[in-house]
Amino acid sequence: MTSLSTLNTRTSIAHASIDQLVREFGSPLFVFDERSLRTQFRCYRDAFVSRYPKTLFAWSYKTNYLQAICTLFHQEGAAAEIVSTMEWEKARKLAISGERIIFNGPNKRRDTLREAIIAGARVNIDHFDELQEIEEIAAEIKHPIDVGLRLSLDVGEKATWARFGLSVDSGEALRAVERMVASERLRLRGLHCHIATFVLDASRYANQVGQMLRFAYEVEDRFGWRIDDIDVGGGFASRCRLRHSKPGKERRIPTADDYATAIVGALRQHLRPGHEPELIIESGRALVDNAGYLITSVVARKQLPDGTPFYVLDAGTNLLSMLALIEIGVETVQPNDDSPVKSMLCGPLCMNTDIVRHEIDLPKLKRGDQLVLSPAGAYNITQSMPFIDYRPAVVMIRENGTLKLIRAREDLTDIDRREDPLDE
């Protein structure tokens, strides 16, 4: 529950008036702060590069693939990390060269995979069917292909990601390497592993790096292949609160320095003399989440049978996919001297599950009042859906204070343009 002491009133985002934002672009409205995005990226980049100069950051497109967001991170020096044909096409549209693209994921379409390989993208193999497909592509183009291998590791996280990649513990990953050696069509150059999302214990990454390097040196000793890059994926946490956290228990969010210290420390501890692989970081949430906000308005005031007030908002689970994982922060906009009482916030959908907050202390709100929900920058854009209503506009507040519409509000043409009605 949000208490009176923690409920804030916010009238602006990055010095832009919320009243002005709503008047100009409507409600609901996603808002991003450019200065915050660039500052956060530089904070993470500097934390790693200062400890290990040979570090590459790759922006995770699935976290937020708006062109303006991707462009901003590419301007800061990030490569592109993609997991689908759509994301490949987005990266290429932004003129990202193949060599600056890392292709992950379990569902790489063959035509896209072939195109990415020819363009020089770093492809991390997720399963044996994909390994076979890349062997066939190598035969077609008549030269060996350098590849990476996604590893599945147990580092002690409760929510394991065992269904992605090839297991080291079961011997599956080593069998994949043996097959590459036997085929003479593929050469292993990199190792990739994404241990989980929202990892709050930075020491898990030290465990991950240690296991990855042990596997790398087993490959080197047995087959003579030296690994050129160690990709530790992402999973770094933002400041949001996990929905299933114990009431009253606030868990500390690791800083960029915490993650960098754990990862680079383990890397230096386990590296053999003379071996300096490239370290790859694919952070998404930690870079973008805190810089994103969703402005929403009260459209109705109601009351539960037990007398609990609840408010219907013009934004719900259609725009906030991460509500299944996080308890989103709420700030009021209009000044209000009423004492807060236990309330509920619901979205606008005709679904009983469309609940923004089950329980929150709020002053009495009126129709038309705005609330600011945050952090909202990670995954909510990419997973939002035009269910029952159109997706809203997205605005970026530039470093110079100007407002940039980076995605217009959808209308019926966006929904209907690929449909074909029945003939008369």
**26-75 confidence digits (pLDDT tens):** 999 999 999 999 999 999 999 999 999 999 999 999 999 999 999 999 99
Answer whether residue 105 shows pLDDT above 50: yes
Q: Extract long-range pairs of 18-23: CB within 8 Å, 24+ residues apart.
A: 18/295, 18/333, 18/370, 18/372, 19/333, 21/295, 21/395, 21/403, 22/295, 22/297, 22/370
Q: Give the pLDDT of residue 267.
A: 98
Residues in the chain: 424
> Coil, strand or helix: which one is 307?
coil
Q: What is the percent of the chain where pLDDT is above 90?
A: 88
**Local confidence band at 177 (pLDDT 50, 70, 90 cut-offs):** very high
Within 8 A by CB and 6+ apart from 378, the residues are 63, 64, 238, 284, 285, 288, 289, 292, 322
The three-class DSSP label of residue 349 is coil
6 has a pLDDT exceeding 70: no
Confidence bin at 158 (pLDDT 50/70/90): low
pLDDT tens string 192-204: 999 988 999 999 9
Helix (H) or strand (E) run with residue 12 in it = strand 12-13
| Predicted local confidence at residue 423, as pLDDT | 83
Q: What value does the mean pLDDT take over residues 217-228? A: 98
Tell which CATH classification among 3.20.20.120, 1.20.120.340, 3.40.50.1860, 2.40.37.10 matches the domain 8-32+291-407.
Answer: 2.40.37.10
Classify residue 239 by burial, with Cβ atoms within 10 Å: 0-12, 13-18, 19+.
exposed
What single string gives the DSSP state of each residue in 51-65?
A: T-SSEEEEEEGGG--
Helices (H) and strands (E) counted in the chain, each on its own, are 12, 23
Q: What is the pLDDT at residue 245?
A: 62
- Confidence at 361, pLDDT banded by 50, 70, 90: very high
Q: Convert the pLDDT of each residue in 93-102 to its tens digit.
A: 999 999 999 9
Query: Taking a C-beta distance cutoff of 8 angstroms, is the pair 253, 238 a contact?
Result: yes
pLDDT of residue 160: 66
Instruction: Give the phi and the psi of residue 7 in degrees, each rounded to 5.
Output: -85, 115
Provide the pLDDT confidence category of residue 4 given band limits of 50, 70 and 90: very low
Residue 376: partners with Cβ closer than 8 Å, 6 or more residues away: 30, 289, 292, 293, 294, 320, 322, 328
State how far the Cα of 40 lies from the Cα of 236, in Å rounded to an integer: 12
pLDDT of residue 337: 86
CB 406 within 8 A of CB 395: yes
Q: What is the pLDDT of residue 131?
A: 98
What is the tens place of the pLDDT at every residue in 244-294? 665 555 578 999 999 999 999 999 999 999 999 999 999 999 999 999 999
Handedness of CA 38, 43, 48, 50 (dihedral sign): positive
Instruction: For the chain, give the percent of residues with pLDDT over 70.
Output: 96
CATH dotted code for 35-289: 3.20.20.10
Could you tell me where in the chain the CATH 2.40.37.10 domains are found?
8-32+291-407
DSSP states along 102-120: EE-SS---HHHHHHHHHHT
The mean per-residue pLDDT over the stretch 413-419 comes to: 94
**Window from 13-27, 39-53, 153-167, 194-208 with minimum mean pLDDT:** 153-167
d(CA 78, CA 57): 5
pLDDT of residue 249: 53
As a whole number, the mean pLDDT across the chain is 94
- CATH 3.20.20.10 range(s) for the chain read 35-289
Q: What is the per-residue pLDDT across 299-324, written as a single tens digit (0 to 9) for each?
A: 999 999 999 999 999 999 999 988 98
Q: pTM, whole model, 2 decimals?
A: 0.94
The answer on pLDDT for 188 being more than 70 is: yes
For residue 201, what pLDDT is reported?
94
- Among 287, 237, 234, 230, which residue's Cα sits nearest to residue 81? 234
